Amino acid sequence: MPHPLDPELLAAAEAVRAKAYAPYSNFQVGTAILADDGKVYVGCNVENAAYPIGNCAEPSAIAAMLAGGAKRIRRVYTTGPGSSPVTPCGGCRQRIREFADPDVVVVSHGVEGMPLEQTVAQLLPHSFGPEFLGR
């Protein structure tokens, strides 16, 4: 079921996606995070000529969230091109898991198609989280 803030999160993710630096893949991605402080933080993918050291949109948004003083993710909305949902890669799923409870919803949207809503637990089943290390 869509969240009341999804139109705002979609607009924020699309606005930052337009600023993505993706000259190698031409696959621009934007992410908007609703954080525990009620604010929306955004990030986009940033590629590099040394290809493996680029940044995905999700950790870029997480870094902005932490820099803004928030600590926990309440909802994630990621957009990208095409009609298939643009889901977080494996590393990004783990990064989201670090700051989000298993029941937090992650919306993945290829903007020419329908958004896909999944919980963190659905995206990363049997995950390893901070609580395993006594946190």
Query: Which residue among the candidates 47, 58, 98, 131 is catalytic per the annotation?
Result: 58
Q: Is 132 exposed, middle or buried (0-12, 13-18, 19+ CB in 10 A)?
A: exposed
Domain-embedded: residue 71: yes
Q: Is 134 exposed, middle or buried (0-12, 13-18, 19+ CB in 10 A)?
A: exposed
Residue 98 annotated as catalytic: no
Please state the domain count of the chain: 1
Domain-embedded: residue 67: yes
Domain-embedded: residue 26: yes
In CATH, what number is assigned to the domain containing residue 16?
A: 3.40.140.10
Domain-embedded: residue 128: yes
Among 10, 122, 29, CA closest to 77: 10
Domain-embedded: residue 117: yes
- State the chain's maximal CA–CA distance in angstroms: 43
The rounded distance, in Å, linking the Cα atoms of 105 and 120 is 6
Q: pLDDT of the chain along its 135 residues, tens only?
A: 678 889 999 999 999 999 999 999 999 999 999 999 999 999 999 999 998 899 999 999 999 999 999 999 999 999 999 999 999 999 999 999 999 999 999 999 999 999 999 999 999 999 988 888 987
DSSP letter (8 states) at residue 65: H
Domain-embedded: residue 1: no
Instruction: Quote the domain boundaries for residue 109.
Output: 6-133
Domain-embedded: residue 20: yes
pTM, two decimal places: 0.95
